Structure 1
């Protein structure tokens, strides 16, 4: 009689082999080198740039494959439109709320009060570059830019919204042709497996990228540069933290999950965003982790790429807070009517410069150029610490988009509550690497 041996449980990975630990160590080492050897820290910049280029290289195909297979799997064109409308409605509400929060905090704390800066004494050479870019970001220009010149060009330039447009149209086309498109969908799903394996290989270089990027930031700008504007930086970080815990935490509670559990689940990606100061660096991993946490691929594929352009909670908090800081620092009093105008302009300009490198600073320039009461030259005051605030912007934007994807999944009744609870439970080990995302629960 053959004895059946009990299955031996897989041994958990040692802590030092987890990505989040490696990235954390890399950030600490990078910060130390940047502080004690600034020239060496600045020389390490190519490490961070190279890693971000590696990730951006794979973003376009990952979005295309995820969105196309997700839409083709829905077999319901009405559902595609419904998901997109729900996502955009969510983005509008919470992006506006983030702008209002920044406005309220700036009025209560008044981080720029008493500085009495004369705008004429400020050096505005660098500000002029951002102002020129902001001038080009009109609403009509933004909408026209969504349409690529060629299909290949969208992928070559890595334009997220252009790739998303092509992906949606191609996914709808496969749905409309029915059975004839099924072999194409199957082939794309197999290609997606290869690309997600590609992502896992690239992510092994994340600690090196975070090390180089953080060493450069501290080496070039120095921790001491924060001291002069500590009130603004501190206020922005505290406001963003409260927005995540209170506002997004309440949204999570109302939808059956803990914001702290979500942060814990995404800790490796959040540390990577912190180290590289770019939320795009963790976009492919976010898509995969949300699918493993029970969100349908069809929903994640639409909501996350859209959110990276339209759901910028951290950027919106920064815009109104920084605008009022500049007004206070230069002695400009803004009435409530003028602040309401500032809020309205910020709502539009934050969409008009979506997806542009340095979007936070560019959208601020675009907003101030339309509200003449606040001198654009005052942006020179915050140019030196903008890099430190960009990290907080990226982190808040990243968490906001993760929450949005889970909420819209629940609204669509496609969320696997058991998978989400298991993923977000304390002490739950991160899901093991796979050859691709899990099957879409919404797909028959």
Structure 2
């Protein structure tokens, strides 16, 4: 037995990379903070592949269905699931933050806060509107969606192309065969990029620890602990309950996606693992068309971890600044978040912008209070990104089960395979 055999699985390499990144950030903070370009470079390499992978997967999935009724049925079921579960996540966050009260006793003077540090986020938030969000789904030109990497625009184009291919019938077969070969090439490129995941994870963790320091963890420790515990309970109780209905054990399900969870935790971005998630969900027994529609759409409409963070963050700022909120005020915040939370993307920082937009609309809670969250947002983002990832994996399996397109026997056999053998 070779001594380095234990390093062969990707998740072990990522764990080692994260440990080295933490050590570098603690012992040499300046060097750790300088590692950000490496982490950003890894994320950019993956993001470079997202538009063509999503386009090809969605278009192929719809074309292979052969019926536009199926497209509408799966889409409707996915949106119903997204709305119900993300609403539960918002309510869970609201309940916990009122019970734990992580901001109580901080007695922050709003006038003493420096608003300049959140000016960029506030300006972006002010420009957000429902009409603007809907119009932004339509690209200015066909190729601009791919150039800008706008996920919803790419999905729209893929839906249109997939429906057109469906209407062509047998004449579209040569095009579909070409699509299949092109997708194989794309996924091979993704596989090559993922070999850099340990380096990206190490750089991401080194930057977080080096730039923000472990001291910032203690300053807002109650909020960080509350968010991590809340997301843990949500995953175990709510998402675990959904998986129980599907017929899969939660712990085995999480082990199956352990590589992607670790990479997401280190990079704070669910986009870095989207192509691999699509492959592994198909291997799990989910219909290709369901994976192609549900998973990419879930990145925008089903951000469970971000939903928990948004309610907890809004009420935390109110508690810290001694802003009194009645039950009606809190329900108003919840109602606004039901809309604004659907626009949060799978990239780092999107949740912070959404929170700024929400507080601007509500008006009761001072937006400048978000300065309190800025120093630890990276640490908070780790929890919400991982929860978003798990939530969308569960959503895809649940919709496939609901639609009758999940091979449950295959799914059970895949998650039952020992962790080391899966690699």
The 2-side partners of 1:353 and 1:135 are apart by 15
Is 1:178 paired with 2:169?
Answer: yes
Residue number among 65, 71, 81 corresponding to 2:56 in the alignment? 65
Other-structure match for 2:359 = 368
Contact 1:293 1:419 in 2 (8 A): yes
The 1-side partners of 2:171 and 2:5 are apart by 48
Which structure is larger by alpha-carbon Rg, 1 or 2? 1
Other-structure match for 2:336 = 345
The 1-side partners of 2:93 and 2:203 are apart by 32
Other-structure match for 1:108 = 99
Alignment of 1:350-361 (within 5 A): 350-354=341-345, 358-361=349-352
Say which structure is richer in helix.
2
Alignment of 1:61-210 (within 5 A): 61-210=52-201
Secondary structure, aligned partner of 2:368: helix
Other-structure match for 1:3 = none
The 1-side partners of 2:94 and 2:46 are apart by 34
Is 1:421 paired with 2:421?
Answer: no
Per-residue deviation at 1:431?
4.5
Secondary structure, aligned partner of 2:374: coil
Contact 1:139 1:352 in 2 (8 A): no
Quickly say closer, same or farther: Cα 1:129–1:358, change in 2 above 3 A: same
- Ranges of 4+ aligned residues in structure 1 off by more than 3 Å: 352-357, 428-432
Per-residue deviation at 1:14?
2.8
Alignment of 1:281-292 (within 5 A): 281-292=272-283
Contact 2:270 2:346 in 1 (8 A): no
Per-residue deviation at 1:351?
2.1
1:96-143 CA distance string (max 9 Å, x none): 111100100011111111111111111111212111101111111011
Residue number among 8, 11, 14 corresponding to 1:17 in the alignment? 8
Quickly say closer, same or farther: Cα 1:355–1:417, change in 2 above 3 A: closer
Contact 1:160 1:355 in 2 (8 A): no
Per-residue deviation at 1:46?
1.2
Residue number among 233, 236, 241 corresponding to 2:232 in the alignment? 241
TM-score normalised by structure 2 residue count: 0.97
The 1-side partners of 2:421 and 2:246 are apart by 22
Other-structure match for 1:301 = 292
Q: How many residues align?
A: 421
Secondary structure, aligned partner of 1:382: helix
Q: Flag structure 1 segments of 5+ consecutive residues without an equivalent.
A: 1-10, 433-444
RMSD: 1.4
Residue number among 247, 250, 255 corresponding to 2:246 in the alignment? 255
Alignment of 1:264-279 (within 5 A): 264-279=255-270
Quickly say closer, same or farther: Cα 1:14–1:355, change in 2 above 3 A: closer
Per-residue deviation at 1:295?
0.5
Contact 1:142 1:353 in 2 (8 A): no
Residue number among 331, 335, 340 corresponding to 2:326 in the alignment? 335
The 2-side partners of 1:357 and 1:211 are apart by 17
1:367-394 CA distance string (max 9 Å, x none): 1111221111110111100010011110
